[in-house]
A and B are shown apart, each in its own frame.
Chain A
């Protein structure tokens, strides 16, 4: 197969970017999309041109490093597949494919197809954990977990944090990502003590990081390589209502959570991003 790739090239976060057209020859159907980029890069090095920078690591669809838009579709369009596992048999000889990085204000471009997704880590820091200091755990079988709940928790925990959901959303919303972690932990008995706090803090942080809100387009679910279902967003919203209506001894959103997301964007921050307490 011979393909034309139009690739977004951008030297660094501050430089302007543009699409550059490349021809890739002798692509075989068994090659993965990233192996096609490897071949392009070998070719570019041969011509003394800078290779295309892209994040990747495990190439088994589990580390969540890779991802970009192919013809506007996050991870290229095969259901439940990351670009590292997307075989070229999915495309046709002569295709022209446009590659660009995730587009979201919360994910600034670092170089070419690489973006900065550390906003996801900050959402996790806000409450995407169960506090369990090492050594303090009771026997594993002392906590019974109904299989149904364990399976729901697992389905949600399968998220790899790649960011495709944000890239696919017209609002650049991180609600699929956030709801996956909230569903994982809130479905388990171990997650109950911090349940309301977790829900409120993570949702507040999502706003602080300039992710948009969900308006039920459902694009996120379609591109999610782990097929995290949209219903988890509904679950998260029910948990939000629960958290807001519960009477608590003191306000639950920790002050440290309401922080400036990133230095460059700090001066533009104007909204509170904290749900009102009843």
Chain B
């Protein structure tokens, strides 16, 4: 079932070999092929622009009013590349090794190597597009360091790197729209994938302004629809980020890999009340200069400045001397939770640790700190009303990224032929934990370099008969979609969509968040179907399906989260080891670090949908490590 199509040969030649073996489409024939690209974030916009420029006709779909709103825009810190501009020992091999190790040996070596290999080209491409990366006075590019590595390989544009990279891809996309090679469909949401003769040949969408359902046919379908952190309700994801596209594809036969691998980001602004609608990230780059600490004493009541140096516990620096405040995210998050659970947390609910810039300001001067992090300090002040130049920031971990996603082979094709998946939506490169500044790298690697090579290869090798939207498969899928929407509208119960989302989110956070246990997961698995049942009985949506109806949009997305959450917990329960962001309390070392079980779990878990209320089927893709030998991670 799981044929990963990894090319043979030494790792540094695999991608070249793969491209050499690919079939090509003659430039004159490209316009005869149509491609559906769902999503217009970094991966989607980059791939749509590149494939459009190559000559294919691309239809790009976004539920936003313009591609520039995609959530990639919110990424702050930076993008990694093995340029070694710092001459500090970086190389493609080192980026590869850091990423495999950072992912706690649960990713596919060949994919990670390719990611490291194309990372340099991404920076070149973005600079050529006019992305205003930070510069030195001599006019060369500046770099900084990120968690889990010991080189400075991160390129950045103040604290708005994601925004600037997305605008680069967006502008390239707009150029292709102007040239007529890409047709953009705005405020248009995918509700299902259409399979004809075993291949993905189209999608069913809902126009979010008129409510009209539409079918679209093409030769190939690409999903670049982001991650599913919003299953927790409180996350750093944008409010509309959802799992509908990948989940509906999963229900049509695409296997879902490692759903329990989620990333809890260590530096977010703590939750201040339950009325809050989301959590806000403070870039990990802050850990370059900020020092993390809590009081040594439990139940400390003094304010930060009154606590003398010898009564502070800089716990990351003392426990992990070689990486200090720059340990990987999973380690930093777990440690924050631990000190808060001990009763040493700071802030109103004791759910927070200090991130202190006093030393940095003393060492670098206020002006330098302001230049590097000014916008982040501004965000912090607006939300908390506190000035972080004067008092230390308070931070706490929050759901941020999902390493899991649709299973894809080396070509980024899912188990449904003709259905490709790029960016955060796939499971490919980060294993059980993603390193900082690697999400932007992966989104753009998939979008600019991988999909534009592998999708044409598919078009050239598959025998594709023309398909029209009058085909019975389209009619049948559209009818199912319509039926599901009508069902949602007809419930006419008492509770709002958000109330269900919050209830679900709390269960998933409590039992499938930073620490997971057999008992807790079993409890979640019992509770989730109950919430789902209540949802389908007691949901209230005001209004109709034939108008702009944001409650309906929400409810529809929540209905998918309610199914995905169960698979997440099932996956977390089956994986009775700790690895990366997946921390099973039953599996830890003597000093409380995550303990992997390579003998039994060195595989990616890919799950097959077997119908509502049926147990999913598990397929295993074994992982072998030829170049980075399996070892217990240590950041001490």
Q: Which A residues contact B (CB, under 8 angstroms)? A: 11-12, 28, 30-32, 34-35, 38-39, 41-42, 44-46, 48-51, 53, 55-65, 78, 80-81, 85-87, 89, 110-111, 114, 116-118, 120-121, 124-126, 128-141, 143-147, 150, 153-154, 157-158, 160-161, 184-185, 188, 190-191, 256
- When the two chains form their complex, are residues B69 and A65 in contact, meaning their CB atoms are under 8 A apart? yes
B134 within 8 A of A: yes
Residue in contact with B68 in the complex, picked from A30, A161, A190, CB distance below 8 Å: A161
- When the two chains form their complex, are residues B175 and A57 in contact, meaning their CB atoms are under 8 A apart? no
Interface majority SS on A: helix, strand, loop or mixed?
A: loop
Tell me how far the C-beta of B127 lies from the nearest C-beta in chain A, rounded to whole angstroms: 4
- When the two chains form their complex, are residues A134 and B240 in contact, meaning their CB atoms are under 8 A apart? no
> Which residues of chain B from 173 to 193 have a CB within 8 Å of any chain A CB?
174-175, 177-178, 184, 186
Which residues of chain A have C-beta atoms less than 8 A from B379's C-beta?
60-61, 85
- Name 19 interchain pairs, CB-CB below 8 A, sorted by A: A42-B496, A45-B496, A45-B540, A50-B543, A56-B239, A58-B73, A59-B239, A62-B160, A63-B238, A87-B383, A118-B186, A132-B172, A140-B127, A140-B141, A141-B140, A147-B139, A153-B130, A185-B130, A190-B130
Which residues of chain B have C-beta atoms less than 8 A from A132's C-beta?
125, 128-129, 172
- When the two chains form their complex, are residues B178 and A57 in contact, meaning their CB atoms are under 8 A apart? no
- When the two chains form their complex, are residues B74 and A60 in contact, meaning their CB atoms are under 8 A apart? yes
Mark B61-88 against chain A: 1 for CB-CB distance below 8 A, else 0: 0001111111101100000000101000
B385 within 8 A of A: yes
Instruction: Provide the bound-state CA to CA distance between A116 and B548, in Å.
Output: 13
Tell me how far the C-beta of B380 lies from the nearest C-beta in chain A, rounded to whole angstroms: 11
- When the two chains form their complex, are residues A59 and B238 in contact, meaning their CB atoms are under 8 A apart? yes
B20 within 8 A of A: no
Tell me how far the C-beta of A94 lies from the nearest C-beta in chain B, rounded to whole angstroms: 20
B277 within 8 A of A: yes
Tell me how far the C-beta of A56 lies from the nearest C-beta in chain B, rounded to whole angstroms: 6
Number of residues in B with C-beta < 8 Å to the partner?
A: 80
Instruction: Provide the bound-state CA to CA distance between A144 and B133, in Å.
Output: 12
- When the two chains form their complex, are residues B385 and A35 in contact, meaning their CB atoms are under 8 A apart? no
Instruction: Provide the bound-state CA to CA distance between A137 and B448, in Å.
Output: 12
Instruction: Provide the bound-state CA to CA distance between A89 and B53, in Å.
Output: 49
B157 within 8 A of A: yes
Instruction: Report the nearest A residue to B187, measured CB to CB.
Output: A110
- When the two chains form their complex, are residues A184 and B132 in contact, meaning their CB atoms are under 8 A apart? yes
Which residues of chain A have C-beta atoms less than 8 A from B74's C-beta?
58, 60, 62-63
Which residues of chain B have C-beta atoms less than 8 A from A161's C-beta?
66, 68
Tell me how far the C-beta of A12 lies from the nearest C-beta in chain B, rounded to whole angstroms: 7
- When the two chains form their complex, are residues B127 and A38 in contact, meaning their CB atoms are under 8 A apart? no
The answer to whether residues A53 and B383 also contact, given A120-B66, A132-B125, A145-B139 and a CB cut-off of 8 A, is no
Tell me how far the C-beta of B261 lies from the nearest C-beta in chain A, rounded to whole angstroms: 24
- When the two chains form their complex, are residues A28 and B273 in contact, meaning their CB atoms are under 8 A apart? yes
Instruction: Give the most central of A35, A50, A128, A137: most B CB within 10 Å.
Output: A137
Which residues of chain A have C-beta atoms less than 8 A from B126's C-beta?
140
- When the two chains form their complex, are residues A85 and B71 in contact, meaning their CB atoms are under 8 A apart? no
The answer to whether residues A58 and B238 also contact, given A38-B277, A132-B129, A141-B140 and a CB cut-off of 8 A, is yes
Add 7 more A-B contacts to A45-B540, A58-B73 (CB < 8 A).
A11-B547, A32-B277, A60-B74, A125-B175, A134-B50, A140-B127, A157-B157
Tell me how far the C-beta of A162 lies from the nearest C-beta in chain B, rounded to whole angstroms: 10
Residue in contact with A147 in the complex, picked from B67, B135, B174, B449, CB distance below 8 Å: B135
Which residues of chain A have C-beta atoms less than 8 A from B239's C-beta?
56-59
Residue in contact with A140 in the complex, picked from B123, B177, B542, CB distance below 8 Å: B123
Instruction: Provide the bound-state CA to CA distance between A111 and B544, in Å.
Output: 14
B27 within 8 A of A: no
Which residues of chain A have C-beta atoms less than 8 A from B138's C-beta?
144
Instruction: Give the most central of B174, B184, B240: most A CB within 10 Å.
Output: B174
Instruction: Provide the bound-state CA to CA distance between A61 and B74, in Å.
Output: 9
Which residues of chain A have C-beta atoms less than 8 A from B137's C-beta?
147
Instruction: Report the nearest B residue to A78, measured CB to CB.
Output: B382
B272 within 8 A of A: yes
Instruction: Provide the bound-state CA to CA distance between A81 and B379, in Å.
Output: 9
Instruction: Provide the bound-state CA to CA distance between A46 and B541, in Å.
Output: 10
> Which residues of chain B from 137 to 183 have a CB within 8 Å of any chain A CB?
137-141, 157-158, 160, 163-164, 167, 170-172, 174-175, 177-178
Which residues of chain B have C-beta atoms less than 8 A from A131's C-beta?
175
Instruction: Provide the bound-state CA to CA distance between A159 and B438, in Å.
Output: 25
Tell me how far the C-beta of B331 lies from the nearest C-beta in chain A, rounded to whole angstroms: 25
Which residues of chain A have C-beta atoms less than 8 A from B67's C-beta?
121
Which residues of chain A have C-beta atoms less than 8 A from B65's C-beta?
55, 65, 116-118
Instruction: Give the most central of A12, A147, A191: most B CB within 10 Å.
Output: A147
Instruction: Report the nearest B residue to A59, measured CB to CB.
Output: B278
- When the two chains form their complex, are residues A12 and B548 in contact, meaning their CB atoms are under 8 A apart? yes
Which residues of chain B have C-beta atoms less than 8 A from A35's C-beta?
275-277
B378 within 8 A of A: yes
Residue in contact with B174 in the complex, picked from A60, A116, A124, CB distance below 8 Å: A124
Which residues of chain B have C-beta atoms less than 8 A from A41's C-beta?
496
> Which residues of chain B from 234 to 273 have a CB within 8 Å of any chain A CB?
238-240, 272-273
